[in-house]
Structure 1
Amino acid sequence: MIDPEPAVSEFKSKSGLKRIFSAFGYSMAGFKSAWRSEHAFRQELFVVVIATIAALLLPVAAWEKLLLIGVFVLVLIVELINSAIEAVVDRVSLERNPLSKNAKDFGSAAVLLTLTLAAATWLVILWPLFAGK
């Protein structure tokens, strides 16, 4: 028999403005934790800051500036998801397991693909500026 009431986490009980403020607080806690414990996040954030300054100074269209900045913000997003996967895997068990390795490797591969996308985006947008069109 199908249970008509799906199980709901006690943490999902907030609604309205209280939920929005709580979600913002959780997000800030996530940023603080990533800053404190994730070396890759700090390194990538440094790259985002430099890339943002560079993109804003480049003589390209506004949408291209947005794209140049956005692909590096996407790197941060994927890095945070990768860090979440790693934290959950480590929470479940610290013993070596092929499935745990796969989960962590998949997250790492996602970050690598996103970095590759960022590099390709910068190359495509900047090539005409420096290659003489």
Structure 2
Amino acid sequence: MPTEPKPKPDRITGIRHLFAAAGYSVAGIRRLWGETAFRHEALGLPVIAVLFWASAAPLWAYGVFLILWFVLIAVEALNTAIEVMVDHISPHWSEAARDAKDLGSLAVMALLWANGVFVAYVLLCAFYG
């Protein structure tokens, strides 16, 4: 038996909105933690930090990598949101659903490559520069 749709909650404003927004972000992190790809990307942060430390990478390299990593996590979150919405809207296979998921995956892969190229550059400079 189908359930009745829930009414839309009242809009939160003022200072309460800041706390609510923080709660939404924490819920998003919890949801994203369920994704294997995110857990692998999260593991990359300490692994690369150790590699940079072992290679005596300059401080600016840590900063640039941290920015690239945060952008990767943001795009991974958006990709997961696309997948969730596509699965909700189009529960059966469709070409449009496949394309939306593939394009989200491409965005994540592009940032993985950007991170990898940067890390390789830093490590090559550290050992051969």
- TM-score of Structure 1 vs Structure 2, range by shorter chain: 0.7 to 0.9
| TM-score for both structures, normalised by structure 1 | 0.81
Between the aligned partners of 1:12 and 1:124, the Cα distance in structure 2 is: 50
Percent of residue pairs identical: 28
CA contact (8 A) 2:75 2:107 kept: yes
Using structure 2 for the length normalisation, give the TM-score.
Answer: 0.84
Q: Is 1:91 equivalent to 2:88 in the alignment?
A: yes
Please give the per-residue CA displacement for 1:81-129, whole angstroms capped at 9, x wherever unaligned: 1001000101112101111111100000001100000011112222121
Q: How far apart, CA to CA, are the structure 2 residues paired with 1:11 and 1:56?
A: 48
Q: Structure 1 counterpart of 2:22, which letter?
A: F
Structure 1 residues 1-56: Cα deviation after superposition (integer angstroms, max 9, x where no partner): xxxxxxxxx56822221111001001101111111x21111111111232234335
**Aligned with residue 75 of structure 1, among 72, 76, 97:** 72
RMSD of aligned Cα (Å): 1.8
Q: 1:24 aligns with which of 22, 34, 38?
A: 22
Task: Pick 1 or 2: higher relative contact order, CA cutoff 8 A, min separation 6.
Answer: 2
Counterpart Cα distance in 1 of 2:10 and 2:82: 21
Name structure 2 gaps, 5 residues minimum. 1-7
Paired positions, count:
122
Task: Identify the residue that residue 113 of structure 2 maps to in structure 1.
Answer: 116
Give the SS at the match of 1:14: coil
In structure 2, the CA distance between the partners of 1:69 and 1:58, relative to structure 1 (3 Å rule), is: farther
Partner secondary structure for residue 59 of structure 1: coil
Q: Which runs of 5+ in 1 are unaligned?
A: 1-9
Q: Is the 8 A contact 1:55 1:65 kept in 2?
A: yes
Given that residues 55 and 69 in structure 1 are in contact (C-alpha distance below 8 angstroms), is that contact kept between their aligned partners in structure 2? no
Q: Is 2:52–2:123's contact at 8 Å kept on the other side of the alignment?
A: no
Q: Is the 8 A contact 2:55 2:127 kept in 1?
A: no
Q: Which residue of 2 aligns with 1:106?
A: 103
Tell me if 1:39 matches 2:36: yes
